């Protein structure tokens, strides 16, 4: 190691020894360098494995050279540059919608959607285990926020009973456990309301679930009804709204709301993310547009991801570890005791495999979980290696 590199490495180690988090020293992928050690990595969210794709990286560099770091003004005036528009065009193509709104972070998506849909709502009904960004956005309308039990349509019915117009908010896919919301049952419960919006954050479903990779609502055959789309039952008082991120499966960065032209226009104009915040950075937009193009052009990416998901989930079932049902690329397995899971995490780590043990996050049980994530670019033998090491520990 050169002296300068060694110096930087030691400085990073010293800095880290004072912190509770780790330092990722390479791009995320099947092999990821963390705190100076290269691991076979089953963490995070880069499900389609595009973060280091040469075309994605080059498109980011190209946008940076052409447009500078950012437009230095909001999109409402002069701040919309071609890479940002290209993301919106590609996102609309991927999601099969008339338009899409692209903004700096998926975290803001619920905020934007609440602003666009919560007019005259009497109450917000919130799944108790929702992601932090859903919980925070739920307070925006300034009406009572009532929680219902996680994923429980009957409890939703109970809390909805006294109200007329309600906004219901939940994760479509749990960020840690990979559980999916019982959307069809929620719609059934809500159809007797005077008016209702079911607002779902599908950060982890976009790019993974459904025949066209458009997320949980695509998997459930409800995609045509989303974000201004036609409801199958035109008398239904329930509207479906969804937001997500391009920073997980879809290999880019930033939040996205696809929908009809009218709906997306409303999303752009109901809050001030469009005219009061910088457009997403040029390099990030350039890379994100290219990643979307690749996902559209190469359906085999999603196919490979699904094969890996099947392999990992099946292998875990054979070990008696029972991953939750579903076809998500990430999921949590909770064993009875935190010490057992921490022990598995440490033992795997000592063998060069990083499988995160998550002690606390929105929606996970008190003892924590082992959180599995699998990518399209994991090799089958890498998955088998994880399974075989796990077998030796159980």
Contact 240, 227 (CB under 8 A): yes
Q: How far is the CB of 138 from ligand PLP (least distance, A)?
A: 13
Q: How far is the CB of 81 from ligand PLP (least distance, A)?
A: 20
129 or 382: CB nearest ligand PLP: 129
Phi, psi dihedral angles at 196 (to 5 degrees): -150, 150
111 or 268: CB nearest ligand PLP: 111
Per-residue binding letters, 107-126, with ligand PLP (x by CB under 6 A): x-------------------
Residue 306's CB is within 10 A of a number of other CB atoms, namely 16
Report if residue 247 touches ligand PLP, rule: CB under 6 A: yes
43 or 315: CB nearest ligand PLP: 43
Separation of first and last alpha carbons in the chain: 39
State the DSSP H helix or E strand holding residue 171, giving kind and residue range, or none if neither. strand 165-171
Q: Which residue has the tokens 């509770």?
A: 20
Contact with ligand PLP (CB under 6 A) among 52, 105, 277, 298: 105
Contact with ligand PLP (CB under 6 A) among 171, 177, 293, 377: 171
Q: Which residue has the tokens 């500078």?
A: 68
Please spell the DSSP secondary structure of 27-52, one letter per residue.
Answer: -SSSEEEETTEEEEE--SS-TT--TT
Report if residue 277 touches ligand PLP, rule: CB under 6 A: no
71 or 245: CB nearest ligand PLP: 245
How many chain residues bind ligand PLP (CB under 6 A)?
12
Q: Identify which range of 104-112, 145-153, 162-170, 225-233 contacts ligand PLP by CB under 6 A.
A: 104-112
Please spell the DSSP secondary structure of 74-110, one letter per residue.
Answer: BTTTT---HHHHHHHHHHHHHHTSSEEEEES-GGGHH
Report if residue 133 touches ligand PLP, rule: CB under 6 A: yes
Phi, psi dihedral angles at 179 (to 5 degrees): -70, 150
- Radius of gyration over every alpha carbon of the chain, rounded to an integer in angstroms: 21
Q: Which residues within the stretch 5-44 sit at the binding site for ligand PLP (CB under 6 A)?
A: none
Report if residue 175 touches ligand PLP, rule: CB under 6 A: yes
Sheet holding 357-358, edge to edge: 330-333, 369-373, 357-358
Q: Identify which range of 13-21, 22-30, 103-111, 220-228 contacts ligand PLP by CB under 6 A.
A: 103-111
CA 255 to chain centre: 9
Report if residue 203 touches ligand PLP, rule: CB under 6 A: yes
22 or 388: CB nearest ligand PLP: 22
Q: How far is the CB of 201 from ligand PLP (least distance, A)?
A: 5
Report if residue 258 touches ligand PLP, rule: CB under 6 A: no
The whole-angstrom separation of Cα 248 and Cα 12 is 26
112 or 376: CB nearest ligand PLP: 112
203 or 281: CB nearest ligand PLP: 203
The whole-angstrom separation of Cα 14 and Cα 10 is 6
Residue 185's CB is within 10 A of a number of other CB atoms, namely 15
Q: How far is the CB of 358 from ligand PLP (least distance, A)?
A: 12
Report if residue 106 touches ligand PLP, rule: CB under 6 A: yes
Residues that bind ligand PLP (CB under 6 A): 105-107, 131, 133, 171, 175, 201, 203, 245, 247, 255
């Amino acid at each position: 190691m050169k002296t300068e590199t060694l110096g930087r490495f030691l400085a990073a180690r010293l800095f880290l020894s004072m912190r509770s988090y780790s330092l990722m020293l390479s791009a995320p992928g099947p092999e990821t360098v963390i705190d100076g050690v290269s691991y076979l990595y089953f963490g995070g969210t880069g499900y389609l494995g595009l973060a280091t794709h040469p075309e994605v990286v080059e498109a980011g560099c190209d946008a940076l050279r052409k447009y500078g770091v950012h437009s230095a003004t909001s999109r409402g005036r002069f701040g919309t540059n071609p890479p940002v528009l290209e993301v919106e065009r590609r996102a609309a193509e991927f999601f099969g919608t008339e338009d899409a709104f692209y903004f700096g972070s998926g975290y803001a998506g619920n905020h934007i959607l609440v602003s666009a849909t919560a007019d005259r709502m009497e109450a917000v009904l919130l799944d108790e285990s929702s992601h932090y960004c859903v919980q925070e956005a739920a307070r925006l309308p300034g009406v009572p926020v009532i929680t219902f039990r996680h994923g429980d349509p009957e409890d939703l019915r109970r809390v909805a009973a006294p109200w007329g117009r309600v906004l219901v908010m939940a994760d479509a896919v749990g960020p840690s456990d990979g559980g999916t919301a019982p959307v069809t049952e929620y719609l059934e419960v809500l159809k007797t309301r005077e008016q209702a919006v079911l607002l779902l954050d599908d950060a982890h479903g976009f790019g993974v679930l459904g025949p066209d990779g458009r997320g949980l609502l695509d998997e459930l055959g409800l995609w045509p009804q989303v974000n201004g789309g036609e409801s199958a039952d035109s008398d239904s008082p329930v509207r479906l709204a969804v937001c997500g991120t391009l920073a997980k499966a879809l290999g880019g960065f930033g939040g996205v709301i696809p929908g009809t032209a009218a709906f997306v226009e409303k999303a752009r104009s109901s809050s001030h993310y469009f005219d009061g915040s910088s457009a997403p950075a040029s390099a990030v937009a350039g890379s994100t547009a290219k990643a979307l193009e690749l996902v559209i052009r190469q359906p085999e990416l999603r196919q490979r991801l699904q094969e890996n998901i099947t392999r990992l989930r099946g292998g875990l079932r054979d070990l008696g570890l029972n991953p939750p049902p579903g076809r998500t690329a990430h999921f949590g397995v909770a064993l009875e005791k935190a010490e057992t899971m921490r022990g598995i995490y440490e033992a795997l780590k000592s063998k060069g495999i990083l499988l995160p043990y998550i002690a606390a996050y929105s929606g996970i049980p008190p003892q924590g979980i082992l959180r599995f994530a699998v990518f399209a670019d994991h090799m089958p033998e890498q998955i088998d290696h994880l399974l075989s090491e796990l077998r030796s520990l159980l």
